[in-house]
Amino acid sequence: MVCECKHSLRRGRRKRNTGSTVDTFYEPAAAQTTAGLQKWVLVSGQWQLAYTLTAGLDLGVPYIVAGYPTGNNSGTGGTGFPWAPATAGLRNITGVVNGDGTATIYAITSTISGNGDQGADPNKLVVITDKLDASGPTPPSGESFATLRTAGFGEVLRGVSFTPSR
């Protein structure tokens, strides 16, 4: 299921009295075969999925969190899955259009694990920069998510936003 919130990074020509023309938007996708960051472009009045950015997310690969349980949750009522969290997709994105024709997008990862309470695992703040003029069908080479912060034991990152500066 695609996240219902569409977070547009607006790019395009200014129209008098009508705001900006949106011709590119990015949408987080979690827990599906197209998990990652979907890039959509407007082509002849129709939105088309250009590609999905996933490099560097390590989707489904468990990662170690100090102090977090290890092994599988196989006790009474357990899920049978590994306790270690793994990235399942993205949520809570924000970004900026850069002057060089790229967009830098920040996101919070969604997780899966054996704890039985999805979304309660320590997750990550990630970033990627994408070329706005790239239209697919595959992402530009070399684009990869980088982790800016990993939540520790007992922490969960719930969102990301920009703070005004002076």
Q: What is the pLDDT of residue 129?
A: 96
The answer to whether residue 5 is domain-embedded is: no
The answer to whether residue 58 is domain-embedded is: yes
The residues that bridge with 49 in the sheet, in sequence order, are 40
Distance CA 78, CA 84 (A): 14
Distance CA 84, CA 72 (A): 8
Considering the chain, what percentage of its residues have pLDDT values greater than 90? 25
Number of domains in the chain: 1
Contact between 107 and 37 under an 8 Å Cβ cutoff? The reply is yes
pLDDT for residue 139 is more than 70: yes
The answer to whether residue 155 is domain-embedded is: no
Contact between 8 and 39 under an 8 Å Cβ cutoff? The reply is no
The answer to whether residue 143 is domain-embedded is: yes
pLDDT tens per residue across span 36-72: 899 988 888 888 999 999 999 988 888 888 888 888 8
Q: Which residue has the tokens 């390590």?
A: 58
pLDDT tens per residue across span 99-132: 999 999 999 998 888 877 766 777 899 999 999 9
Domain of 114 in residue numbering reads as 14-150
Q: What is the pLDDT of residue 153?
A: 85
User: Confidence band (pLDDT; 50, 70, 90) for 145?
Assistant: very high
What is the average pLDDT across 128-143?
91
The answer to whether residue 3 is domain-embedded is: no
The answer to whether residue 69 is domain-embedded is: yes
Q: Which of 154, 53, 31 is nearest to 106 (CA)?
A: 53
pLDDT for residue 82 is more than 60: yes
